Amino acid sequence: MKVAIFEKAGSMIVEERDKPTIQATDDAIIKIVRACVCGSDLWSYSHGDAREHNSINSGHEALGIVEEVGPDITTVKPGDFVIVPFTHGCGECDACRSGFDGTCDNHPAPTNWGGGFQAEYLRFHYANWALVKVPGQPSDYSEGMLKSLLTLADVMPTGYHAARVANVQAGDKVVVIGDGAVGQCAVIAAKMRGASQIIMMSRHEDRQQMSLSSGATAVVAERGEEGIQKVREILNGGADVALECVGTEAALEQALGVLHNGGRIGAVGVPHYGDRKIGSTFAQNITIGGGSASVTTYDKQFLLKEVLDGNINPGKVFTHTYDLAEVNQAYQDMADRKAIKSMLVVAE
């Protein structure tokens, strides 16, 4: 089969590898139909990020068809069309039952996180609960709907997770930091939960316009202290909630700066900074939540229905489409900020 390989920083290649096989009783083999590039994949692509050369891709979002299942799988069968999430929750532990399958107790990191999804086939481990069945087959859906379904493997649940852990409530004033796909989905999530004002912090006009079309009420392009003051002017004070969707220390500082005392942060950007002492937030009474998104929980409970009913359209974050053979260009265009999110067409 064809699979994307991280050759080195700035170079993704496609190689032939053996097709995966069932190795455990709760495995599933998935024929990938659509995959994509995540903003978190760009850390390795752009900087090396201590990633081993010539290693399997870090892609972790897909739509596919179940081809084969292990004997313990009871929830899906060969031929089913499924959302393939980046997480592998068990659905039975205390964390999963509390709606935090992104950090499953029975499948601790890194076993709860997937990789290698930018390929023609995938072995999905711990498959019995985590896969999300979609009615019908891919051919039943428009390309636009397939894009929205693909966001349900990661970025839409991750944007929603930011809003959930920050407890966005009706009437809240919300600031979103990070204008990539997760930040765009966080705008959708904040609107779903009833925020009265949503400010997107973005320097890029295409991303500004997308966020405004999804429910943002204002855009702030400035950064640092200037950006903080601009937000406070618009809100006539600090924000109730900041959704941090980047993963840098500068983004976290921005989030802390825009809040009024007693505000709440939902942090879902994968952290790429040293430890920050929680005592530094003590004087502000700030509540900080965040972590890996509850993909399966949110999809099964409401996000899949919201997409199928046409109530939300997160698929708009896919601004560019590529074949698997063009995977390096898909990465490069995101790194150059030409694409908000790149979709890979793997099979029809």
pLDDT digits (tens, 9 = 90+) for 264-292: 999 999 988 877 767 778 889 999 999 99
Tokens of 108: 């601790």
Mean pLDDT in residue range 160-181 = 98
Confidence of residue 343 (pLDDT cuts 50, 70, 90): very high
Q: Provide the whole-model pTM.
A: 0.97
Domains present along the chain, CATH in parentheses: 2-154+294-345 (3.90.180.10), 158-290 (3.40.50.720)
12: alpha, beta or left? (left if phi > 0; alpha if psi -120 to 50) = beta
Per residue in 84-94, pLDDT (tens digit) is 999 999 999 99
Q: Which residue in the block uniquely carries the two structure tokens 């002017």?
A: 233
pLDDT, position 47: 85
> Kind and range of the H or E element at 81?
strand 81-84
Mean pLDDT of the chain: 96
Pairing of strands 28-36, 341-345: antiparallel
Picking from 301, 318, 271, 298, the residue whose alpha carbon sits closest to that of residue 163 is: 298
pLDDT, position 188: 98
Mean pLDDT in residue range 30-59 = 93
